[in-house]
Amino acid sequence: MLTLAAGTLLFLSAVPMAFTDNVAIIGALLGVALFAMPAGNAAILSYMSATTPDRLQGRSLAALNFGATGLEWLGPIAGGALMAAFGGQVAMLGAAALLALSIVPLLLNAEARTLPRPDRWPHRREVDPPATPLLADAPA
């Protein structure tokens, strides 16, 4: 729910930015939008860490980081192209629409909406049994 709330706050802050060019208002809206992001990111990483088997921790974090930052460079290019072609208001509303679309999977997934509190999360050992030791780790 914390991740859903952070994403929703980001979307709700982005929409009014399309209708103002006042730097103070945009700065305040960005402050509101980004206020919950660290908590939302911490919630995602905490759940992933608690439920991912030890042997997959590095891979899963690498995949998350790749997915989160792999197309990061495209944002300024797409935003600049949209602003040049349609103006700032359309570009900002387009960004807000993408933010709204990013929330939809969480809204549609009942399991994500009803995730229990951290003290009731399945521990990674319950999710995946311990791996068989590697040959190099076996006694000689």
Please, which pLDDT band fits residue 26 given cuts at 50, 70 and 90?
very high
Entry pTM: 0.72
**Domain extent listing, the chain:** 2-113
Length of the chain: 140
Model pLDDT for residues 36-93, shown as the tens digit of each residue: 889 888 888 888 888 888 888 899 999 988 988 888 888 899 989 999 999 999 999 9
Contact 137, 38 (CB under 8 A): no
Structure-block tokens of residue 7: 């994403």
DSSP annotation of 118 reads G
pLDDT tens string 94-126: 999 999 998 898 888 888 778 888 788 777 665
The pLDDT of residue 129: 58
Q: Is the pLDDT of residue 31 over 90?
A: yes
Give the whole-angstrom CA distance, residue 4 versus residue 7. Answer: 5
Summary mean pLDDT of the chain: 85
Q: How far is CA 117 from the centre of its chain?
A: 19
